[in-house]
Amino acid sequence: MKKWNKGVRITPPTYSDAVEEKLQQLKKDGVRLPSRHLLRTDEQLAGIRESAKINTALLDYINANIREGMSTAEIDHMVYAFTTDHDAIPADFLYEGYPKSVCVSINDVVCHGIPNTKEILCNGDIVNVDVSTIYKGYFSDASRTYLIGEVSPDKQRLVQVAKECRDIGIATAQPWTRLGDIGAAIQEHAEKNGYSVVREFCGHGVGIKFHEEPDVMHYGKKGTGMMIVPGMTFTIEPMINMGKRDIFIDEEDEWTVCTEDGLPSAQWESMILITENGNEILTE
């Protein structure tokens, strides 16, 4: 059936008859499924992939240029310049009032660190750089945690396990499994390594908007939550704390999120597409 919106036809997602039959049966069984508008069309996926290419190239560019002695404001400038040079827009800029083009979170800052000229990268720091790109109306999102200079073994291990949590989440995100399976797998890996998972922030649908359904929790119970089906695009972005999971938001800027105990936190984020046979990593 054709779908119409303000006189414009929206092309339905394209997948096999077997997938459609399975969706219809699951619906009859009362299984929680994503809304159809969250299942991407071929046209949408083409645009999302182009945005994702810019987003990943930006993180590669940061990887080649980030250094000790650099201010976080310089990182913000790099992000803005690279993004706009590629005819794209930093999605962070002015999103819900956020004042910069990127989030830069150092050591005990969990997320949403606001770049400024006074904050300087130092030897031994771990730094998460979270970039999001709008290209021709399509959104992409990813982050990496970078090591600055000689980083202690404890911090290196935290960063490595956080990356493993992201990778385990991706491996678990298969068609016809549940969103709760992702969270359960991530939580298990983090906790068996002696770390904790931040629960106040989660992954999310992304592609047509910056933040869409579904919420993708990084903790939880296997076999629960929305069914993962072909055509969905969302992020997996666990925030892993060296100490306890408790956090607080800076009262002055109302953005910067820090660990309550002052111990470091690390994060890796990728955006994926669920396919009929598995998933495709769009950003990393």
Comparing C-alpha atoms, which of 80, 84, 122 is closest to residue 102?
Answer: 80
Asked if residue 256 is part of any domain, the answer here is yes
**CA–centroid distance for 188 within its chain:** 19
Asked if residue 186 is part of any domain, the answer here is yes
Residue burial 242-272, b: 16+ Cβ < 10 Å; e: rest: bbebebeeeeeeebbbbbeeebbbbbbbbbb
Asked if residue 228 is part of any domain, the answer here is yes
- CATH number, position 190: 3.90.230.10
Question: For 93-123, what is each residue's pLDDT tens digit?
Answer: 999 999 999 999 999 999 999 999 999 999 9
Number of domains in the chain: 1
Whether the Cβ atoms of residue 256 and residue 114 lie closer than 8 Å to each other? yes
For residue 222, the 8-state DSSP code is: T
Residue recorded with tokens 């004042």: 99
What is the DSSP annotation of 75-128?
HHHHHHHHHHHTT-EETTTTGGG--SSSEEEETTEEE-PPP-SS-B--TT-EEE
Give how far Cα 63 sits from Cα of 57, 144, 159, 164, 181, Å: 10, 9, 15, 19, 31
In this prediction, residue 176 has a pLDDT band, given cuts at 50, 70 and 90, of very high
Asked if residue 254 is part of any domain, the answer here is yes
Length of the chain (residues):
284
User: Among residues of the chain, what percentage have pLDDT more than 90?
Assistant: 90
Q: How would you classify residue 217: left for phi > 0, otherwise alpha for psi between -120 and 50, otherwise beta?
A: beta
Amino acid (one-letter) located at 112:
H
Asked if residue 153 is part of any domain, the answer here is yes
Residue 83: burial class (beta carbons within 10 Å; 0-12, 13-18, 19+): buried
Query: Is the confidence at residue 282, as pLDDT, over 60?
Result: yes
pTM for this prediction: 0.92
Give how far Cα 50 sits from Cα of 13, 39, 138, 202, Å: 18, 18, 8, 24
Asked if residue 157 is part of any domain, the answer here is yes
For residue 226, the 8-state DSSP code is: S
Asked if residue 197 is part of any domain, the answer here is yes
Range of the domain at 178: 36-283
Token couple for 186: 């991530």
Token couple for 242: 């060296």
User: Among residues of the chain, what percentage have pLDDT more than 70?
Assistant: 95
Query: Is the confidence at residue 12, as pLDDT, over 70?
Result: no
Asked if residue 84 is part of any domain, the answer here is yes
What mean pLDDT comes out for the span 20-49? 93
Query: Is the confidence at residue 69, as pLDDT, over 70?
Result: yes
Query: Is the confidence at residue 220, as pLDDT, over 60?
Result: yes
Give the per-residue pLDDT at 1. Answer: 30
Mean pLDDT over the full length of the chain: 94
Residue 227 to residue 170: CA distance in whole angstroms: 15
